[in-house]
Chains A and B, each alone.
Chain A
Amino acid sequence: MPALLLRHRDIPDIGKLDVYNKNGGFEAFKKVVTSMQPQEVTDVVKASGLRGRGGAGFPTGVKWSFIPNNIWPHYVVANADESEPGTFKDREIMECNPFQFLEGVAIAAFAVGANAAYIYLRGEFWTMAAILDKKIAEMEKTGLLGEKLFGTDYSLQIYTHLGAGAYICGEETALLESIEGKRGQPRIRPPFPAVYGLYGKPTVINNVETLTNVPLIIEKGADWYKSMGTADSAGVKIFSLSGHVNQPGNYELPFGTTYRELIYKCGGGVTDDRPVKAIMSAGASSSFIVADDKALDTPMDYASVRTLGADLGSASVIVINDSVNLEWVINRTIHFFKHESCGKCTPCREGCYWMMHLVERIEQGQDVLANTELLYSVAKQMQNKCLCPLGEFATMAVTTAIERFPADFKPSLAGGQHG
Chain B
Amino acid sequence: MSLADKYPQEVKKIMAKYPPEQKRSAVMPLLYLAQRDKGFVTKAALEDIARMLDMTTTDVAGIVGFYTLYHDQQAGKYRMQVCTDLPCALRGADKFLEELCGNLGVKVGATTPDGMITVEAVMCLAGCDKAPMFQVQSGEGIAYHENMTMDKTMELVAALRKSGKEVK
Contacts and interface: CB of A to CB of B under 8 A. Distances in A.
B129 A240 contact: yes
B67 A184 contact: yes
Contacts, number: 138
Contacts of A24: none
Contact of A181 (B63, B90, B130, B142): B63
A243 B126 CA distance: 13
A126 B89 CA distance: 24
Contacts of B141: 126-127
Q: Which of A83, A161, A164, A336 has the most CB of B within 10 A?
A: A164
A181 B67 contact: no
Nearest to B125: A124
A250 interface: yes
Contacts of B4: none
A199 B22 contact: yes
A242 B128 contact: yes
A84 B125 CA distance: 9
B86 A124 contact: no
Contact of B124 (A181, A182, A329, A336): A336
Contact of A164 (B22, B69, B86, B126): B69
A117 B66 CA distance: 25
A250 B128 CA distance: 10
A123 B142 contact: yes
B18 to A, nearest CB: 8
B46 to A, nearest CB: 14
Interface string A158-200: 0101111111000000000011111110000000000000010
Interface string B21-32: 010111111011
A88 B126 contact: yes
B63 A85 contact: no
Nearest to A342: B66
Q: Which of B26, B29, B123 has the most CB of A within 10 A?
A: B123
A300 B32 CA distance: 41
B81 to A, nearest CB: 8
Contacts of A320: 90
Interface string B129-159: 1110001000001111000000000000000
Contacts of A329: 86
Contact of B31 (A87, A161, A164): A164
Nearest to B29: A162
B124 A84 contact: yes
A147 to B, nearest CB: 15
B124 A83 contact: yes
Contact-size category for B: 35 or more
Given A86-B86, A242-B128, A183 B63 contact: yes
A82 interface: yes
Q: Which of A88, A91, A318, A339 has the most CB of B within 10 A?
A: A88
A122 B68 CA distance: 11
A243 B86 CA distance: 8
Contact of B123 (A82, A85, A88): A85
Contacts of B69: 123-124, 164-165
Nearest to A166: B67
Nearest to B94: A417
Interface string B57-98: 000001100111110000000000000011101110000000
B129 A164 contact: no
A164 B91 contact: no
A349 interface: no
B66 A183 contact: yes
Contacts of A125: 126
Nearest to B128: A242
A332 to B, nearest CB: 4
B70 A164 contact: yes
A161 B17 contact: yes
A318 B91 CA distance: 11
B53 interface: yes
B87 A243 contact: yes
Contacts of B128: 85-88, 240, 242-243, 248, 318
A241 B129 contact: yes
9 contacts: A87-B126, A124-B135, A127-B142, A159-B17, A162-B29, A164-B70, A183-B66, A243-B91, A336-B85
Top 5 A-B residue pairs of the complex, sorted by shortest distance between their CB atoms: A165-B68, A164-B67, A181-B24, A248-B129, A242-B128
Given A85-B124, A124-B126, A178-B28, 11 more contacts: A85-B128, A86-B86, A87-B124, A123-B69, A124-B142, A161-B29, A165-B67, A165-B68, A181-B63, A243-B128, A284-B86
Interface of B: 17-19, 22, 24-29, 31-32, 53, 55, 62-63, 66-70, 85-87, 89-91, 123-131, 135, 141-144
